[in-house]
Amino acid sequence: MVGVMVGSAALIIILSVFNGLETVVLNMFDTITPQIAITPAKGKTFDPNTSYFNQLKKNKDVAAFTEVLQENALLKYNNKQAVGMVKGVSSDYLKNTKLDSTIKEGHFILHNRNGYNAVIGSALQSYLAVNTVDPFTELEIYSPKKDIAANTINPADDFVVKNIRVSGVFEVQQDFDNGIIVPLDFARELLGEDQNVSAIEINLQPGIDVDDFKKEIIEKAGKDYEVRNQAEQNKSLYHILNTEKWAVYIILTFILIIAIFNIIGSLTMLVIDKVKDVAILSSLGAGKNLIKRIFLFEGMMITMSGCVLGLIIGVIFYYFQHTYGLIKMGDEVNKTLVSSYPIALKWKDFVLVFVTVGIFSFLASALSSNLSVKKIDQINQTI
């Protein structure tokens, strides 16, 4: 019972820690990733000025309707240059109250009285050595002109060159930190796109079901658009998190199976010790099925008691870790994103552990209970 208890407690605690880590990582992406993203099914851009999108912009359930125009471009600052994703966003983008939490340096400002401003990712800022407090040096952005043949005499004439001041540095994750966020009007001038957009990003009012709203958009927008929620926008991230969680679950389940199948040894010894009692029960009229059920019930009682105790220990550990942060992720000198291991309980994990223990407990107890009646006829004859 103690072995099953320790295994069950370890399993629910590890799964809860993975839930906590998943929540922390996904919250980081939530600051940048919209709840719903609409992109073209074919091509890079589409016209957002349709009757449905205009209605969607005025929908009371929509908190922020952001038009996005993005493309790779060459970025140059002083003598350094790099290729990065330039993302132009409309004014609704700033309605996201979580943006300030991503700022590592400066401020999240895209437009002020001096004109356009940009917010650059930390990876690009480090590589280009961008100084956000330098008012004299601006970031140069180069983008190829559209529908113009290459000019062999002066290749520089084939590019649109725009300068912009960097107001801040954001840091989320490597995939995002290699980009730069600029106002939509600036991106249109840079990319030569007067009307089309690359995507429409939507954030909903609190309490609105994202999946239901997504289905409504799919039905009304048609097959020319792809509509994705946050999980679908970050498929690789969700896949990695789920794969790691299930890998740990499988490993710990094997350990738990070893503990459960120790019941076979314990019940076998019990059967040997109770040979005479089994024979007396049989003589009194107890059938083989009744005797088997007795040992099966005892095996299940031992393992499931251990499982319940293990789950209770997991809940207790969750309370102390969540409240007091007993186990730290790093020392106080090196500041990390979170000081202690995050943890979160999900009822599905409790059901999963309980069912897992129940299945293997039944198999182990059933094998042991069969031994109790295997030679019952010979025992009766000898007695």
Indicate if 156 and 246 belong to the same structural domain.
no
Predicted local distance difference test score (pLDDT) of residue 27:
75
Q: Which three-class secondary structure state does DSSP give residue 180?
A: strand
Measuring CA to CA, which residue among 186, 175, 161 is closest to residue 87? 186
What token pair was written down for 198? Answer: 């690359």
Total number of domains constituting the chain? 2
Q: What is the mean pLDDT of each run of 10 residues along the chain (383 residues)?
A: 89 91 77 91 92 93 95 93 94 89 90 91 93 89 76 70 94 84 95 93 93 94 91 82 87 86 80 78 80 85 92 94 83 57 91 92 84 61 54
Other beta carbons within 10 angstroms of residue 374's beta carbon come to 12
Q: What is the pLDDT of residues 2-32, one digit of tens each?
A: 888 998 999 999 999 988 888 887 777 777 8
User: How far apart, in Å, are the Cα atoms of 239 and each of 20, 232, 244, 345, 347?
Assistant: 16, 10, 9, 20, 21
SS3 content of the chain, % helix, strand, coil (to 5): 55, 20, 25
| Plot region of 343 (φ>0 → left; ψ -120 to 50 → alpha; else → beta) | beta
Of 210, 233, 256, the one marking the end of a domain is: 233
Element (H, E) at 345: none
Q: Domain limits at 285?
A: 2-26+237-382
Indicate if 10 and 98 belong to the same structural domain.
no
User: How far apart, in Å, are the Cα atoms of 243 and each of 2, 240, 254, 329?
Assistant: 29, 5, 17, 22
Measured CA to CA, the distance from residue 228 to residue 215 in angstroms comes to 10
Indicate if 354 and 255 belong to the same structural domain.
yes
Indicate if 256 and 143 belong to the same structural domain.
no
Dihedral of alpha carbons 101, 181, 77, 112, sign: negative
Angle between helices 235-273 and 288-324 (to 10 degrees): 140
